[in-house]
Amino acid sequence: MDSLENLSLRQYLDNLAQKSPAPGGGSAAAVVVSVAVALYKMCFSYSKKNFDAVEFKDLTAQINALLDSAVSFIQKDKDVYSNLVEILKDKSRGDEIQSAYKNAAMVPLEIINICRKMMDVILINISKIELVFLSDLKSSVNFLKSGFKSAEYFIDANLKCLSLEDLEFFENFKEREIEYLKSEFKRVEKEIENGS
């Protein structure tokens, strides 16, 4: 079967709707974050005149890299979760369970890292986006927030099965990055409203 990222939207949604453990919500979170980044890129591209040439080129490369990364997690989430399900079915692989849960938690963590980097791009350049694209910018931020919240749910779902060492790593990440991002979403929403 084709990688999920290469399916048509309808084929992906049909896969998501099947009675199957994967793809599931983690993969869908990656789709939503990909949509957020792509929609922001549209706003950014139409606002090219507000950036100098070097800045525009550098930001385009940065946004493209974030989009590629987000899209890659559409399949990666399915792969790690499918692996976890297979390990849980096979009692002889008990020693692999901790690692599989950690891998399953790492994908949403990486999705959140993409959200963080994208939020930095949005905040720095918010005043340079053409006002005619304000509704698209707001939608991009809302998609990003939704993907972020969904990824957070899947980190939490896997935490209960991690070793104490891994649990500490993820709890520190949550305390540092997730709380920071929550405040940044509030900040960007306020700046968009003030600028409109």
pLDDT tens-digit readout, 27-46: 999 999 999 999 999 999 99
Residue 90 structure tokens:
């096979």
pLDDT tens-digit readout, 154-188: 998 888 888 888 888 988 998 898 999 999 999 99
**Which amino acid type is present at position 132?**
V
pLDDT interval class at 196 (50, 70, 90): low
Q: What share of the chain is helix, strand, coil (3-state, %, to 5)?
A: 90, 0, 10
Q: What is the pLDDT of residue 121?
A: 97
Convert 46-80 into a string of H (helix), E (strand) and C (coil).
Answer: HCHHHCCHHHHHHHHHHHHHHHHHHHHHHHHHHHH
Indicate the pTM of the whole model.
Answer: 0.93
pLDDT tens-digit readout, 3-31: 999 999 999 999 999 999 899 999 999 99
pLDDT tens-digit readout, 86-132: 999 987 887 898 899 999 999 999 999 999 999 999 999 999 999 99
**CATH placement of domain 24-195:** 1.20.120.680
Residue with tokens 């929609």: 39
pLDDT tens-digit readout, 145-154: 999 999 999 9
